[in-house]
Amino acid sequence: MRQYRQSGQIEAKQRGGYQKPTIQDEHLSMIKSWVEEKNDLLLSELCYRLQESTGIRVSISTMHRAVEKLDLRCKKKVSMQVSKILHEYRNYGMNIVGG
């Protein structure tokens, strides 16, 4: 009703629409090369590298979607010390939940 009084229009305003991706295809190739070069980078490190090289600041969630789109995996290497501790706990019958 307010829209009709203000503009004389009775049609609904346009909602939504196409939103251009923050990380474009040319940036995806850079991300892919970084992950292939060193596959244990954190998503936050990838965000930082993207910002340093292009000036585009993205969230960790956005970077995660980009890495998934490339069908890549970023996985930190687990140190031997941690796995040794877990092994000792299992030997004593203690259960550790988590990853």
**Which pLDDT tens digit goes with each residue over 46-94?**
999 999 999 999 999 999 999 999 988 756 665 545 555 555 555 554 4
Residue 13 falls within a domain, yes or no? Answer: no
Residue 96 falls within a domain, yes or no? Answer: no
Residue 7 falls within a domain, yes or no? Answer: no
Residue 4 falls within a domain, yes or no? Answer: no
Which residue is it, tokens 């939103």? 19
Residue 1 falls within a domain, yes or no? Answer: no
Q: Which domain holds residue 77?
A: 22-91
Residue 10 falls within a domain, yes or no? Answer: no
Residue 16 falls within a domain, yes or no? Answer: no
Q: For the chain, how many structural domains are there in total?
A: 1
Question: DSSP 3-state assignment of 98?
Answer: coil
Residue 17 falls within a domain, yes or no? Answer: no
Q: Is the pLDDT of residue 27 over 80?
A: yes
